[in-house]
Amino acid sequence: MSFASTGRRTAAALVTAALLTPLAACGSGDDGGRNTGAESGASGDAPKVELTVLAASSLTDVFKTAGAAYEKKRPGTKVKFSYAGSQELAAQVKQGAPADALVTADTKTMDGLSSDTGSPEVIAKNRLVIATGKGNPKKVENLKDLADSKLKVVLAAPEVPVGRYSKQVLDAQKIDVKPVSEEANVRAVLSKVELGEADAGIVYKTDAATAPGKVEAVTVPDDQNAVASYPAATLKTSEHEKEAKEFVAWLGSSEAQKILRDGGFQKP
């Protein structure tokens, strides 16, 4: 599959900018800084621990629900999430970003961090769909339609898990797509389609479901699709090792699994 050189430069710039930006406090907590130790709770009768979890962009919505459920179950713990493409998260870990746990959208990225993490466990799976504008105005019906030179297609960059999965399925079908841009994460792909800056893009099924009434999801048959696995692991640099292990273990619990299923993710 051929990728535009301008798209590569755009994706590279986005990744670089993301790595120079402090971790975003995108989780259920509302303080801007990360707590490096225990502090007294509001009532003064229980310690409070703040966990920072680096998570793949496609988990943004479902982890808001999961984080709130976990905090309710363990009132002494606050969970904050920092979302980005898995390749950006890996770079942050290598640079020593202060965090307690990591969840990526592929096993390849996690495997490359084996010296920095505990033993990973897959907590969910996902599949690809073609996202189009509301009502599918360009009548995109399948992967082959994405090769139409009149169609503005946006993909994630090949170093991003969803971009790698997209390349895998397109190459398997011998479909040559020339994207108008290559993005640094799946949410950027979805945004381009949602805003009408692209006619179509390949995203995860769960991401398309977060924009009902704004995008349409065209199903990719299972025999042409790819399965994305989401492993979770603690980080060896965590200052809250016990609590980080408890959170990662909870992601495999029946409570957390129901939240993931309700968010459209498949069983691990």
**Is 206 within the bounds of a domain?**
yes
Is 90 a member of any domain? yes
In a domain, 16, yes or no: no
Same domain, residue pair 25 and 121? yes
- CATH code at 109? 3.40.190.10
Averaged pLDDT for residues 111-130:
98
Residues 197 and 246 in one domain: no
Number of domains the chain is built from: 2
Same domain? 163 vs 193: yes
- The pTM assigned to this predicted structure is 0.81
Residues 50 and 135 in one domain: no
- Residue 110 banded pLDDT, cuts 50, 70, 90: very high
Q: What mean pLDDT do residues 96-102 have?
A: 97
Q: Distance between CA atoms of 183 and 157, rounded to whole angstroms?
A: 5
For residue range 3-46, what is the model confidence (pLDDT) as tens digits?
444 444 444 444 444 444 444 444 444 333 344 444 434 444 55
**What pLDDT is stored for residue 108 in this prediction?**
96
The whole-angstrom separation of Cα 244 and Cα 205 is: 28
pLDDT at 46: 53
Q: Which residues contact 207 (CB under 8 A, 6 or more apart)?
A: 58, 131, 186, 187, 190
- Helices within 107-253 (DSSP H only): 107-111, 161-172, 186-194, 205-208, 241-250
Q: Is 268 inside any structural domain?
A: no
What is residue 4's predicted lDDT score, i.e. its pLDDT? Answer: 42
Do 146 and 83 lie in one domain? The reply is no
Residue 118: pLDDT over 50: yes
Show the domain range for 133: 5-10+126-227
Same domain (yes/no): 60, 84:
yes
- Say yes or no: 139 and 117 in one domain: no
Q: Are residues 102 and 51 in the same domain?
A: yes
**Is residue 112 domain-resident?**
yes
Q: CA 61, CA 56: separation in Å to the nearest integer?
A: 11
Mean pLDDT of the chain: 87
Whole-number Å distance between alpha carbons of 43 and 241:
25
Are residues 235 and 108 part of one domain? yes
Same domain, 134 and 222: yes
- Nearest CA-CA partner of 185 in 73, 54, 33, 65: 54
Contacts made by residues 91-96, CB under 8 angstroms, sequence distance 24+: 91/15, 91/19, 92/19, 92/23, 92/54, 93/54, 93/117, 93/235, 95/19, 96/237
Q: For residues 150-173, give the mean pLDDT.
A: 97
Cα pseudo-dihedral 24, 29, 31, 32, rounded to 10: 0
What percentage of the chain reaches a pLDDT higher than 90? Answer: 82
Does 15 map to a domain? no
Per-residue pLDDT reduced to its tens digit, 187-242? 999 999 999 999 999 999 999 999 999 999 999 999 999 999 999 999 999 999 99
Task: Tell me, yes or no, whether 267 lies in a domain.
Answer: no
Residue 196's pLDDT is: 95
Is residue 256, in this structure, part of any structural domain at all? yes
CB 211 within 8 A of CB 186: no
Whole-angstrom distance, CA of residue 155 vs CA of residue 162: 8
The residue behind tokens 């993909």 is 155
Regarding whether 150 and 243 lie in a shared domain, the answer is: no
Does 40 lie in the same domain as 112? yes
